[in-house]
Structure 1
Amino acid sequence: MAFSVNTNAGAFAALQNLNQTQSELRTTQTQINTGLRVSSAKDDAATFAIAQTLRGEVSGLQAVSSSLDRAQSTLDVAIAAGEAVSDLLIELKEKAVAAKDSGLDTSSRNSLNDDFQQLRDQITSIVQNAEFNGTNVVENGGDAVVAITNDTGSNTITIAAQDLSLGGANVTIGSAQSIGTQDAASVAVANIESSIQNVNTALSALGSGSSRIELQQTFVNQLSDAIEVGIGNLVDADLAETSANLQSLQVRQQLGLQALSIANQAPSTVLGLFR
Structure 2
Amino acid sequence: MASILTNAAAMAALQTLRSIDRSFETTQARVSSGLKVETAADNAAYWSIATTMRSDNRALATVQDALGLGAAKIDTAYAAMESAIEVVQEIKSKLVAAYGVGTDRSKIQEEINQLQQQLKSISESASFSGENWLQEDISDVTGTTATPVTVTKQVVASFIRNASGTVGVTTVDYPLNEDTVLFDTGGGNLGILDKLAMNGTTSLDFSVVTLDITDLGTVALQLDIAEPPGPHDDVDALDAMTQFVDEQLEAMTSAASSLGSIQSRIDMQEDFVATLIDTIDTGVGRLVDADMNEESTRLKALQTQQQLAIQSLSIANTNSQNILQLFQQ
Query: TM-score, normalization: structure 2?
Result: 0.76
1:80 CA drift (Å): 0.4
Aligned to 1:138: 134
**Which one has a larger percent strand, Structure 1 or Structure 2?**
2
1:35–1:236 CA contact under 8 A, matched in 2: yes
Unaligned runs of 5+ in 1: none
Distance 1:145 1:164 in 2: 19
With a CA cutoff of 8 Å and minimum separation of 6, indicate the structure with the bigger relative contact order: 1
The equivalent position to 1:171 in structure 2, one of 185, 188, 193, is 193
Distance 2:312 2:72 in 1: 70
1:38 CA drift (Å): 1.1
The equivalent position to 1:245 in structure 2, one of 290, 298, 317, is 298
| TM-align CA RMSD | 2.1
In the TM superposition, what are the counterparts of 1:37-56 in structure 2 within 5 Å? 37-56=36-55
Report SS of the residue matched to 1:157: strand
Tell me whether 86-95 or 158-167 shows the greater mean CA deviation. Answer: 158-167
User: Number of residue pairs matched?
Assistant: 271
Distance 1:81 1:267 in 2: 95
**Deviation string, structure 1 residues 208-246 (Cα, Å, up to 9, x no partner):** 111222222222222222222211111111111112111
1:99–1:179 CA contact under 8 A, matched in 2: no
1:91 CA drift (Å): 0.6
**Which one has a larger percent helix, Structure 1 or Structure 2?**
1
2:154–2:174 CA contact under 8 A, matched in 1: yes
Report SS of the residue matched to 1:144: strand
Unaligned runs of 5+ in 2: 138-150, 161-166, 195-203, 220-236
Report SS of the residue matched to 2:28: helix
Instruction: Determine whether 1:112 maps to 2:115.
Output: no
In the TM superposition, what are the counterparts of 1:1-275 in structure 2 within 5 Å? 1-4=1-4, 6-104=5-103, 108-141=104-137, 144-151=153-160, 152-161=167-176, 162-165=180-183, 168-172=190-194, 173-177=204-208, 178-181=211-214, 183=216, 184=219, 186=238, 187-275=240-328
Distance 1:135 1:148 in 2: 18
Report SS of the residue matched to 2:27: helix
2:157–2:170 CA contact under 8 A, matched in 1: yes
Query: TM-score, normalization: structure 1?
Result: 0.90
1:188 CA drift (Å): 3.4
1:261 CA drift (Å): 1.1
Tell me whether 79-88 or 167-176 shows the greater mean CA deviation. Answer: 167-176
Tell me whether 81-90 or 128-137 shows the greater mean CA deviation. Answer: 128-137
Once the two structures are aligned, what percentage of the paired residues are identical? 35
Distance 2:67 2:46 in 1: 31
1:150 CA drift (Å): 2.1
Distance 1:146 1:3 in 2: 81
